[in-house]
Amino acid sequence: MAILRCARCRYVPQWSCTHRSRAWLYDLRVARPKRVPTLAQEWALDRAMAARQTCPVPSCRRRYMFCLPLKTLGCCLECWDGTPADPSTYIAPRPAHQLAA
């Protein structure tokens, strides 16, 4: 077991660091595995990421493979200034139901 110390206490003896940034590093052989998320948690995370990755413009609605700058621009770059998006970086939305009858 080793101690991770803050930058101020880097060169002082092991137990002298009493700052909140001090943490323990445990041996990986004795560490427990992470808890597996439930399906509901995975679904909720996917919905949250979809909200960050989908362009909110009704005529676009593309889901990109990266998070969009929604706070600064409010939409994708193609909707903002016409910069063409690479087709491999987004998933096109499902077409609306276009039945003739």
Total domain count, the chain: 2
Residues 52 and 81 in one domain: yes
Residue 37 inside a domain? The answer is no
Q: Which residue has the tokens 């949250």?
A: 48
The domain of 73 spans 48-91
Q: 67, 51 in Cβ contact below 8 A?
A: no
Kindly state the average pLDDT of the residues 81-100: 85
Instruction: Please tell me the pTM assigned to this model.
Output: 0.60
Give the pLDDT of residue 79.
92
Q: What would the 3-class secondary structure string for 32-64 be? A: CCCCCCCHHHHHHHHHHHHHHHECCCCCCCCEE
Residue 38 is encoded by which pair of tokens? Answer: 């439930």
Residue 82 inside a domain? The answer is yes
Residues 9-51 pLDDT 10s: 666 655 556 666 656 655 667 667 788 999 999 999 999 999 9
Q: 56, 75 in Cβ contact below 8 A?
A: yes
